[in-house]
Chains A and B, each alone.
Chain A
């Protein structure tokens, strides 16, 4: 199978509509076709019993190794709590200028913070996180424009503050890279 575009691979069950909406947003921002697929990884290999979390670096490498074969970019969606050794948690991780990225919905839901769950906000946050990490795979770094989706977010409140679109500067940079 040879897919020219972005492959979004769900590791775990995500509703079809939910994935379709994310795919739509990704297509809108990057002007590339998006293919949704299912993937399978034995996550126990990446589980850190001391931290009771999953090693994001290792999962990202595994996604790259097993799935980033025939698409321009490959994105893995997860349900588990991700970390990297130096940080207590991460929302997502990407190879800057590379081919793969991952994100987890685990820390994006209101429930985690003792608040009432709102489906729209969960979808919006996940959309933004996916676009953000994909932006990194296209070589974009964190942006200081407050509304830009490439703004750095360390809390869900930060994600809520920004839009799901690239700012003019990031879009221009993305366009310039596409031309190159």
Chain B
């Protein structure tokens, strides 16, 4: 259903206020009136009006001064100034100060209807623009959801079925597995896709910042709150809110969040007016929430409220068959963005990638491929271009022999099993190297 446009009429003449009020009410708008600029500014601070129709000549603060103040409060407000004494100077000044239009009283009825229709069109266009921007952001990474493995196909099936519902979802998985991408995929395939997907990284914000971020704040609510600000819940109206790292929120925020999820209404920090918003919640965490509930660090009621559907994303090491596809995708992605010809990857390098543990999951693989394209020869990604060595050291070596064996193997791989080059790199002679190869039964990878 189309949103009802709200209009605030500011004029010191009661007859003008009444006439405009009746006219707009008959057109189905939500209309309120103020008799002077001071009253109007108070109303604007506590309520958001789509269109403000203000007289220029008023006792006390005039319309132009009020226009400037409105613009400093709400930059996007549509203000139409009206006057009985039209001069080019005041009209130009009003438009310079950000007025949407300037009209002379009395209006022709058709001019008034036109004016409001144009302003309404501007509002719908701005809202549509915002929604489309969010939509583009939410769509641009969907194709990153790559994987033919059974584990990933199961996840994609779950995404498809859950997208059509309105249920809360918790996405769990190790860091770098693509939890946010899954959230975007759910949003993009849902009926809410034409409305915003608003992401909040809970772990990056302190409790008070998170509160202000989620619920918004009123001007003067705290030091530095210079303007009224919409919260993320308000911005997500009609769409989806994605709360990343949900396990990191404080117990106070857990209570607040539970209340909002149950009532779908909240009050801005420093405000007193209840705001309702229709949003869907998707959360993500790399921690075991169930365990946190048992330990008493996460509220059980909130857990059950959020955990209507749980999607578990497998780590990359459990779907190594997807690595060639992912590598291919990242090569295309980065070669395109770096304006380079597509490169290929050596089979031995790809095989090593499949043997790698990837504690940082897909994010780590993506970074590795990006780096390889940057430092590589521009034709082929080889083992030398992949920063696998450091990570190999990280793997658990049980003995010194174990470490020596791995180091020799890695150096051999890096030099494509060229014995002379490897011996030089290891600062040993060729015979010693042969002995070590025999000792550890090292063989080139197929």
Contact = CB atoms under 8 A, between A and B. Distances in A.
Contacts of B26: 94, 96, 136, 141-142, 152
A84 interface: yes
Interface string B95-121: 000000000011111101100000000
Interface residues of B, number: 20
A161 B23 CA distance: 21
A155 B105 CA distance: 19
Nearest to A135: B26
Contacts of A155: 110
A71 interface: no
Nearest to B82: A86
A85 interface: yes
Interface residues of A, number: 19
Given A96-B26, A142-B26, A86 B106 contact: yes
Given A84-B23, A141-B25, A141-B27, A90 B109 contact: yes
Which of A57, A86, A96, A136 has the most chain B CB atoms inside 10 A of its CB? A86
A87 interface: yes
Interface string A85-117: 111111001111000000000000000000000
Nearest to A86: B19
B106 A83 contact: yes
Which of A85, A93, A154 has the most chain B CB atoms inside 10 A of its CB? A85
A152 B110 CA distance: 10
A89 B19 CA distance: 12
Contacts of A57: 15, 18-19, 22
A88 B106 contact: yes
Contacts of B112: 86-87
A152 B106 contact: no
Given A57-B15, A141-B26, A141-B28, A154 B106 contact: no
A142 B28 contact: yes
12 contacts: A85-B16, A85-B19, A86-B16, A86-B19, A86-B106, A87-B109, A93-B22, A96-B22, A142-B27, A154-B109, A154-B110, A154-B113
Given A85-B105, A88-B109, A96-B26, 8 more contacts: A57-B15, A57-B18, A57-B22, A85-B15, A86-B20, A86-B105, A87-B108, A96-B25
Interface of A: 57, 83-90, 93-96, 136, 141-142, 152, 154-155
Interface of B: 13, 15-16, 18-20, 22-23, 25-28, 105-110, 112-113
